């Protein structure tokens, strides 16, 4: 089973983002996780397309862009141009999820769908075969540094079963409150990609923390 790490730059130093991207570049991280928030779908505003295209010039790992915005279809071409490699949309805002997923792929990106903590895994039954990744939120989206919701372990196992039944190679990513203890249990339950923001960037040695997460 693949074990991948996606440090979230939401917890990085925005006065010197390049320095934290270099930490990620030098580490064993697999992706750079970028949280885009619109202040409507979630009660917070982070950063958007211009920041992503600047990051693309310094990041040597694929950009894993987590859109917490309403009406994502409107911006899919812009995020592709900015250099997103994986584009994640929230199930809760997509009335025509199949169309949105196709649009992401037509723009050359990997398609990923995110579920809020209260959204059941079963809603993905009829689309799982089309997806490159599913992102399970283990906190309510909008902020870093929140407490992990332990119902997520059960959802990881359910999703692992769904993926196996569909014979797909879709990745399972988990986002929110990931530390060593939660991360280890998530990998054991069948997760592939761990997002970690505050745990990495508030640690004394972020590069070592990334590498330790990877080795869990
Ligand atoms: O999508 C997110 C918040 O909506 C972030 O990716 C997530 O919260 C990471 O932060 P932390 O590891 O500090 O919980
Ligand atoms: Fe995220």
User: CB of 5 within 8 A of CB of 32?
Assistant: no
pTM given for the model: 0.98
Report the greatest alpha carbon distance in the chain: 46
176 Cα to the center of ligand 2, angstroms: 7
Any residues with CB less than 8 A from the CB of 44 and at least 6 apart, and which? 37, 142, 143
Tens digit of each residue's pLDDT (9 = 90 or more) over 47-99:
999 999 999 999 999 999 999 999 999 999 999 999 999 999 999 999 999 99
Tens digit of pLDDT for each residue in 86-135? Answer: 999 999 999 999 999 999 999 999 999 999 999 999 999 999 999 999 99
CA of residue 139 to ligand 2 center, whole Å = 10
Residue list for the binding site for a divalent metal cation: 33, 35, 66, 175
Domains and CATH numbers, the chain: 4-214 (3.20.20.70)
- pLDDT reading at 190 higher than 90: yes
Known binding-site residue numbers: 8, 33, 35, 66, 142-145, 175-177, 197-198
Give the sign of the dihedral formed by CA 75, CA 40, CA 129, CA 4.
Answer: positive
Question: Can you give the pLDDT at residue 181?
Answer: 98
The two tokens of residue 74 are: 């409107």
Ligand 1: atom nearest CA of 141 is: 4
Distance 198 CA to ligand 1 centre (A): 8
* Ligand 1 binding pocket, CB closer than 6 Å: 8, 10-11, 33, 35, 66, 139, 141-146, 175-178, 195-199
Kindly give the number of the ligand 1 atom that is closest to the alpha carbon of 146.
14
Q: Does the pLDDT value for residue 202 go beyond 90?
A: yes
The catalytic site residues sit at 35, 175
């Amino acid at each position: 089973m693949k074990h991948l790490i996606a440090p979230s730059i939401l917890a990085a130093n925005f006065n010197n983002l390049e320095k934290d991207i270099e930490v990620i570049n030098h580490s064993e991280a697999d992706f750079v996780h970028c949280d885009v928030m619109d202040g409507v779908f979630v009660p917070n505003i982070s950063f958007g397309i211009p920041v992503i295209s600047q990051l693309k010039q310094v990041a040597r790992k694929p950009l894993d862009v987590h859109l917490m915005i309403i009406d994502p279809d409107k911006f899919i071409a812009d995020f592709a141009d900015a250099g997103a490699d994986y584009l994640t949309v929230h199930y809760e805002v997509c009335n025509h999820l199949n169309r949105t997923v196709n649009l992401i792929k037509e723009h050359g990106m990997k398609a990923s769908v995110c579920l809020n903590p209260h959204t059941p895994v079963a809603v993905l039954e009829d689309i799982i075969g089309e997806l490159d990744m599913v992102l399970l939120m283990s906190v309510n989206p909008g902020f870093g540094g929140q407490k992990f919701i332990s119902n997520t372990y059960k959802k990881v196992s359910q999703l692992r079963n769904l993926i196996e039944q569909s014979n797909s190679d879709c990745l399972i990513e988990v986002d929110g409150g990931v530390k060593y203890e939660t991360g280890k249990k998530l990998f054991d339950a069948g997760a592939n990609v761990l997002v970690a923001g505050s745990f990495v960037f508030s640690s004394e040695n972020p590069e070592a923390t990334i590498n330790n997460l990877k080795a869990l």
